[in-house]
Amino acid sequence: MPKNSKVVKRELDDEVIESVKDLLSNEDSPEDAFKKSELIVDVREEKDTDVEEESEVEDERPAWNSKLQYILAQVGFSVGLGNVWRFPYLCQKNGGGAYLLPYLILLLVIGIPLFFLELSVGQRIRRGSIGVWNYISPKLGGIGFASCVVCYFVALYYNVIIGWTLFYFSQSFQQPLPWDQCPLVKNASHAFIEPECEKSSATTYYWYREALNISSSISESGGLNWKMTVCLLAAWVMVCLAMIKGIQSSGKIMYFSSLFPYVVLICFLIRALLLNGSVDGIRHMFTPKLEIMLEPKVWREAATQVFFALGLGFGGVIAFSSYNKRDNNCHFDAVLVSFINFFTSVLATLVVFAVLGFKANVVNEKCIAQNSEMVIKFLKTGNISQDIIPHHINLSAVTAEDYRLVYDIIQKVKEEEFPVLHLNSCQIEDELNKAVQGTGLAFIAFTEAMTHFPASPFWSVMFFLMLVNLGLGSMFGTIEGIITPIVDTFKVRKEILTVICCLLAFCIGLIFVQRSGNYFVTMFDDYSATLPLLILVILENIAVSFVYGIDKFMEDLKDMLGFAPSRYYYYMWKYISPLVLSSLLIASIVNMGLSPPGYSAWIEDKASEEFLSYPPWGMVVCISLMVIAILPVPIVFIVRLCNLIDDSSGNLASVTYKRGRVLKEPVNLEGDDASLIHGKIPSEMSSPNFGKNIYRKQSGSPTLDTAPNGRYGIGYLMADMPDMPESDL
């Protein structure tokens, strides 16, 4: 017998077994036959297909090389420029050390629970933000699209700040630093200090005139600033090269971009503590002002800082966690990353105020020297009697305590004439109370302090290199929040999409490198993200807790993690977090309504900032940014509620995932019981395959297709059985 005779015989036997005659001779009732038919699946074929589908799902989705790489990516995304120049300002402004208490409370109430929620859904569903929210609630699928829009808005101006930082980094390799002294202006007869610089300061002049070459209003474009245009291009090239291979390339860079800032911060802290006056800054920082802490504004700003510090609503958290294994302990990750973020903010605050304390002492010493010279002149001219000055005080080399004593004596003796003398009290607290935030802290206050450091170019290079790394870490997460959902949903090539995304962002970003570009950065920062992100996170919470079901979600977490999460999260997600977020949203809207919309413009003649209102077209842009960011939510809701687009036309409701390509199928959004069992919308279920029926001669019979997770979806055939348990997420 030929060696393949067994194969021929088995095929003939299969033909006999699966013939119509055998089917018709089956005496079972149709219902029993249906039940038995599910048991006659060829075991070998099931096993092979199962392995094939499972391996395909695993191989198709990239994964982190290690848990450390993933943690560093999440830390790099959440720890950004805001930790260095926003948190210290809020801490100093809102009660010093007392501000840490409301921040910590709100971190536990809304920060960690919502961060854990985003990590969980990303890891469980293994999709970007679009796929995740389509999966959980089709009608709220617009949350994912809105997250991508907000991410793109933020990326547009955030990378401009990285471009500014690159410019300062490139200028730091000079001794002395170029912002150390005011420039001299020469004319035919003599040289004199630039008036604009003399009225402000060397660092302020360098920032507004040399770096930005800023115009006097947002309506005055002034053309492109070529230096900042080159820096913006360099920033986008860096982001593109780091992200072009997805987490395979960005994950390796995270080792440096996430860890290097901590090395610099610790070095800065050690160096700053050795400087004169650093302790004064730290003491001022942590002197609690309990009366300020009780104000509602403090809690609102603390909640906003918690919200943005963790990157909630951007989609980057979901995108990064979607590359995890399903059994990863994301609860541990949520707590770890949240507290790393908090302690990084505290560390950065210590560094900032130690440096600002040193700067305040330097400024105070100059103030004392200048005012001591004025007192000596008054003594020589007889305006002040020599008898009132204590004999042990030498005005030529006076200490801060001695000058304070002389100042108080003169103020008492010359009570009526004292205002005419124009003497300054020269107190360190007055200098430290001049709170600066954002770009003012990094590019003006900090740069001025570093000019007084020994080996100032070295520390300047380190500082701006740290800011570049902090900014890039956040940018990677922001871009991942755009790229991952689009790649998952539409199955485009990640490399091509990344290049197109970065190129388009650079072209749009030219708005921010005009001479008026800084004003547009302020506009986007104020209006493109704050309210839209708050609304998105509230909708995320509602989608999981009330639409999908908090009880079912807790069961999904138990199945995924291997243990039941604390009931604390149940109550936070269902009651406390929605209430706190809604209160924060209302407070933000009220605050935005009470605060006149405008920006701080640099007036060249006055050499100072002046608050200006946005022109009418500027108000239109502000409102448009908020509307466009949130618009995908109602659009997708209406499309899916009213079925406005034909199901078979490839619309949002009929996109699914299988074998690395997009499938389009007719669906019934309302009446498919199988989709409810699987917790999936019908659009994301696998298409029926009529080529592999259980009984090949029974044409048109339903088939056992695979579920989206690669397992056989028995629930598809048994959807009408009343005792079928609900499957997991």
Whole-number Cα distances in Å, 440 to 282, 437, 444:
20, 6, 5
Token duo for residue 566: 């604390």
Instruction: Report whether 585 belongs to an annotated binding site.
Output: no
Nearest to residue 664, comparing CAs of 650, 684, 644? 650
Number of Cβ within a 10 Å radius of residue 346: 16
DSSP type of residue 311? T
Query: Which residues share a beta bridge with 658?
Result: 661
Nearest to residue 679, comparing CAs of 125, 1, 51? 125
Burial tier of 13 (Cβ tally within 10 Å: 0-12, 13-18, 19+): exposed
DSSP type of residue 386? G
User: Cα(316)–Cα(483) distance, rounded to whole angstroms?
Assistant: 10
Using alpha carbons only, give the angle 720, 724, 725 rounded to the nearest 5 degrees.
140
Inter-helix orientation angle 456-490/226-243, to 10°: 50
For 152-177, b where at least 16 C-beta lie within 10 A, e where not — what string? bbbbbbbbbbbbbbbbbbebbeeeeb
User: Cα(634)–Cα(141) distance, rounded to whole angstroms?
Assistant: 10
Query: Which residues share a beta bridge with 191?
Result: 186
Instruction: Report whether 83 belongs to an annotated binding site.
Output: yes
Token duo for residue 689: 């395959």
Nearest to residue 155, comparing CAs of 678, 509, 586, 467? 509
DSSP letter string over 56-118?
A: HHHHHS---S-HHHHHHHHHHHHS-HHHHHTHHHHHHHTTGGGGHHHHHHHIIIIIHHHHHHH
DSSP letter string over 209-263?
A: IIIS---SSTT----B-HHHHHHHHHHHHHHHHHHTTTHHHHHHHHHHHHHHHHH
Query: Which residues share a beta bridge with 296?
Result: none
Token duo for residue 685: 């279920």
For residue 252, give every residue at least 6 positions away whose Cβ sits within 8 Å of its Cβ, in sequence order, or none. Answer: 65, 69
Instruction: Report whether 470 belongs to an annotated binding site.
Output: yes
User: Cα(383)–Cα(378) distance, rounded to whole angstroms?
Assistant: 5
Pairing of strands 191-193, 598-603: unpaired
Nearest to residue 85, comparing CAs of 509, 339, 463? 463
Q: What share of the chain is helix, strand, coil (3-state, %, to 5)?
A: 70, 5, 30
Three-state DSSP class for 706?
strand
Nearest to residue 137, comparing CAs of 653, 671, 660? 653
Nearest to residue 375, comparing CAs of 424, 304, 338, 308? 424
Burial tier of 5 (Cβ tally within 10 Å: 0-12, 13-18, 19+): exposed
Inter-helix orientation angle 330-381/247-273, to 10°: 40
For 247-259, b where at least 16 C-beta lie within 10 A, e where not — what string? beebbebbeebbe
User: Cα(24)–Cα(534) distance, rounded to whole angstroms?
Assistant: 62
Residue 252 phi, psi dihedral angles, 5° rounding = -70, -40
For residue 269, give every residue at least 6 positions away whose Cβ sits within 8 Å of its Cβ, in sequence order, or none. Answer: 347, 350, 351, 354
Instruction: Report whether 518 belongs to an annotated binding site.
Output: no
Residues in the chain: 729
Instruction: Report whether 79 belongs to an annotated binding site.
Output: yes
Instruction: Report whether 474 belongs to an annotated binding site.
Output: yes
Residue list for the binding site for Na(+): 76, 79, 83, 341, 470, 474
Residue list for the binding site: 76, 79, 83, 341, 470, 474
